[in-house]
Structure 1
Amino acid sequence: MFYIPDYPNDTATVFIKDNDPPPPTETVWVDDTVPAGAWTGADGGDSWNWVSESPPPFIGTVAHQSARAPGIHCHYFAEATETLMVNPGDTLFTYVYLDSANPPREVMLEWFDGTSWAHAAYWGENLIPWGTDGTASQRPMGALPTAGQWVRLEVPASAVALEGSTLSGMNFVVYGGQATWDFSGKTSQ
């Protein structure tokens, strides 16, 4: 059985009259693997650990999980040949799952534009001393997301000075605890 919604005859006309913007378009950059051509690295006792459970991925077959470690730990990729072009008005995103038994005190995302990693946003306490707080190199985004569930983190590209940039790297940083990351990219209007 099919359900056919009862739309008014002038639905398209209403859309045009209201001058609503078109729906946003998502571009996926990281899902189930790093972008083509990238090399990977890790620091602080972390590694690229791809998992299919605990928690199950948000989308796809695997997500990447940080280690349970004290202090700053991270895993990253750089110099991807499959780059991500960031246009004016774009919003960068990733999904994160904070371990409710071992929640971090801070999570940070950093992006590499081919010359600099000084494009970062963080949630939670300001414990990772990279960049200058309140600038594009260390933009505060608010409290940590709720632990024990997948949450979408969003950062306007303008907040981290990335409009007009071509990205070739990304860093997933945690202070204490454990986080699982999945499905990263951008939304365009």
Structure 2
Amino acid sequence: MRPIDDDRFGGTRTVTLRIATMFYIPDYPNDTATVFIKDNDPPPPTETVWVDDTVPAGAWTGADGGDSWNWVSESPPPFIGTVAHQSARAPGIHCHYFAEATETLMVNPGDTLFTYVYLDSANPPREVMLEWFDGTSWAHAAYWGENLIPWGTDGTASQRPMGALPTAGQWVRLEVPASAVALEGSTLSGMNFVVYGGQATWDFSGKTSQ
């Protein structure tokens, strides 16, 4: 029997099985059965986009350390949509953020937060950090690279290490389990895009749910 590739057939396929009798009997039809086969893979995650081409409705924006909200359509081209937001090329800590959005993001148990980032290959940062605002606190952060941004307590939900910096010169998806930054059951109304040195471009932020 040849196995069915569920990826090729989208997880489902209808097949007809022909059951032959032991002896050949002329003009006697073989029995057949039609079977609907479906795999038991979990459903694909549902993606909710929160930041793409603009900040969520109702939010105010800010920036520190010489940064700004700079929307760009090239160098690099956005990962998706028409524009991405780019940090300044600056030393030390610099960031841009939004808060108090009326278009909030509800985070459920098991959700994963995500953002796409593009590190400038000629001027790569030494660290990038994402912070989320739950309406009362910014102490929900994850970082990649060196631990140079002294906000929060390293190894906790306020400063969760996520490993090495992503590869520069290409779009990379950053993912953070909501549980790792103590955000399950929270309603988000702000987000901060933080860089230490160099330059990064950001695009397409939100969450995935199972």
TM-score norm. by structure 1 comes to 0.91
Residue 107 of structure 1 and its aligned partner are, at CA, apart by 0.1
Residue 174 of structure 1 and its aligned partner are, at CA, apart by 0.0
Q: How do 1:1-189 residues align onto structure 2 when only pairs under 5 Å count?
A: 18-189=39-210
Residue 5 of structure 1 and its aligned partner are, at CA, apart by 36
- In 2, distance between residues paired with 1:3 and 1:167? 70
C-alpha spacing 1:104/1:7, structure 2 compared with 1 (3 Å): farther
| Deviation readout 1:125-172 (Å, 9 max, x if unpaired) | 000000000000000000000000000000000000000000000000
- My pick for the range that moved more, 4-13 or 15-24, is 4-13
Residue aligned with 1:164, SS: coil
The structure whose RCO (Cα within 8 Å, separation 6+) is larger is 1
- In 1, distance between residues paired with 2:189 and 2:120? 28
- In 2, distance between residues paired with 1:45 and 1:139? 25
- In 1, distance between residues paired with 2:145 and 2:87? 17
Residue aligned with 2:28, SS: coil
Residue 21 of structure 1 and its aligned partner are, at CA, apart by 1.4
Residue aligned with 2:36, SS: helix
- In 2, distance between residues paired with 1:144 and 1:179? 11
C-alpha spacing 1:161/1:140, structure 2 compared with 1 (3 Å): same
Paired-residue identity, %: 100
Mark the structure with the bigger radius of gyration. Answer: 2
- In 2, distance between residues paired with 1:32 and 1:4? 70
C-alpha spacing 1:69/1:84, structure 2 compared with 1 (3 Å): same
- In 2, distance between residues paired with 1:153 and 1:20? 24
- In 2, distance between residues paired with 1:128 and 1:6? 82
Equivalenced residues, count: 189
C-alpha spacing 1:135/1:53, structure 2 compared with 1 (3 Å): same
Residue aligned with 1:97, SS: strand
| Deviation readout 1:24-68 (Å, 9 max, x if unpaired) | 000000000000000000000000000000000000000000000
Higher helix share: 1
Residue 124 of structure 1 and its aligned partner are, at CA, apart by 0.1
TM-score norm. by structure 2 comes to 0.82
C-alpha spacing 1:22/1:68, structure 2 compared with 1 (3 Å): same
- In 1, distance between residues paired with 2:42 and 2:153? 35
C-alpha spacing 1:59/1:2, structure 2 compared with 1 (3 Å): farther
| Deviation readout 1:63-88 (Å, 9 max, x if unpaired) | 00000000000000000000000000
C-alpha spacing 1:7/1:155, structure 2 compared with 1 (3 Å): farther
- Could you list the runs of 5+ residues in structure 1 that have no partner in the other structure? none
Residue 20 of structure 1 and its aligned partner are, at CA, apart by 2.1
C-alpha spacing 1:8/1:91, structure 2 compared with 1 (3 Å): farther
C-alpha spacing 1:6/1:53, structure 2 compared with 1 (3 Å): farther
Residue 91 of structure 1 and its aligned partner are, at CA, apart by 0.2
Residue 110 of structure 1 and its aligned partner are, at CA, apart by 0.1
Residue 18 of structure 1 and its aligned partner are, at CA, apart by 4.8
Residue 19 of structure 1 and its aligned partner are, at CA, apart by 3.0
